[in-house]
Amino acid sequence: MILLEAHGLTYAYPGGFPALLGLDLRIERGRRLAILGPNGAGKTTLLLHLNGTLRPASGQVLLDGATTGYTRAELSNWRRRIGLVLQDADDQLFAASVAEDVSFGPLNLGLSDEEARQRVDEALAALHIADLADRATHMLSFGQKKRAAIAGAVAMRPEILLLDEPTAGLDQLGSSHFLTVLKQLEAMGTTLVFTTHDVDLAWHFADDVALFKAGRVIAQGAASDILIDEAAMSQAGLKTPFLARIGLELRSCGLLSANAPLPREETSALQLLSRIRG
């Protein structure tokens, strides 16, 4: 079922370059969507349309199949359902301390102080930054700020969470904690959408992929199809994910049958290789 949809969106920044040129995208409930494409392709601009921050010059955003409105009440309802974690955490964090920042959303939802505190504690623990609760947000490292910004969105438990390059700048452990948090959030009913330049992350984690190029979506579909479509990938300036290339290579040498799935995770690739070695 399609939850959120962009239909023929066009947008140009004031006095700027046209950023979206008739963009179509579908977000299906419960399916993880990765958005990929080169710098300047319009990924961030699209996310800003999907939570109503930017309004298209033409085209529509449909939520549950209905056109979205831009009155204050409609925007507030919209943002309650659709969370957005910005590319640059400095644009997201505004309260003095980490705990205050993360509590802002839940308090705004009308939760009691006690419920909000519980959400904050859970979100900070999930992102492994409980020790930063009382730290000033402007005195954190890049990755710590990023984790705090993600914690703020997680504490809202939105219906859809849009994440703009969430793992860029996170250390290995931070990335793996983050994916665990996303899975927990998903289990509570949140649909995940994220932009990334990491094709290997998309191969491992996404169900669906949309490829952006110059303000348009040039391909959207199952990750297992799109990410090995060399023509579409190279149009978007991307290479096939590493594990997919290994799997395809094994297929072409006859070591993996044509109908066996390609390995999506390191562990399954290693198992496959050790099976082949006998």
Ligand X SMILES: Nc1ncnc2c1ncn2[C@@H]1O[C@H](COP(=O)(O)OP(=O)(O)OP(=O)(O)O)[C@@H](O)[C@H]1O
Residue 45 binds ligand X (CB under 6 A): yes
Nearer to ligand X, 27 or 102 (CB): 27
Place of tokens 């939802």: 109
41 binds ligand X (CB under 6 A): yes
Tell me the C-alpha distance between 72 and 82, whole Å. Answer: 15
Choose among 207, 200, 212: nearest CA to 182.
207
Of the ranges 9-17, 140-148, 173-181, 198-206, which one interacts with ligand X (CB under 6 A)? 9-17
Nearer to ligand X, 51 or 87 (CB): 87
By CB under 5 A, is residue 167 in contact with Mg ion? no
- Write out the binding residues for ligand X, residues 78-107 only, by CB under 6 A: 87
Under a CB-based contact definition with an 8 Å cutoff, are residues 58 and 44 in contact?
Answer: no
| Residue from 11, 35, 44, 182 in contact with Mg ion (CB under 5 A) | 44
CB of 235 to Mg ion, least distance (A): 19
Q: Indicate whether 259 belongs to the interface with ligand X (CB under 6 A).
A: no
* Backbone phi and psi for residue 193, each to the nearest 5 degrees, phi listed first: -135, 130
Cβ-based nearer residue to Mg ion, 43 or 119: 43
In the list Mg ion, ligand X, none, the entry touching 13 (Cβ below 5 to 8 angstroms by class) is: ligand X
Give CA–CA dist 82/162, Å, rounded. 7
Residue 189 touches which of Mg ion, ligand X, none (Cβ within 5-8 Å per kind): none
Min. distance of Cβ 87 from Mg ion in angstroms? 5
Contact 206/223 with Cβ under 8 angstroms?
A: yes
The pair of structure tokens assigned to 93 is: 């964090």
- Are 23 and 42 in contact, with CB atoms under 8 Å apart? yes
End-to-end CA separation in angstroms for the chain = 44
Residue 263 C-beta: closest distance to ligand X, Å: 28
Cβ within 8 Å of residue 200, ≥6 positions away: 241, 242, 243
Partner in contact with 147, chosen from Mg ion, ligand X, none, beta carbon below 5 to 8 Å by kind: none
Residue ranges in contact with ligand X by CB under 6 A: 13, 16-17, 19, 37, 39-45, 87
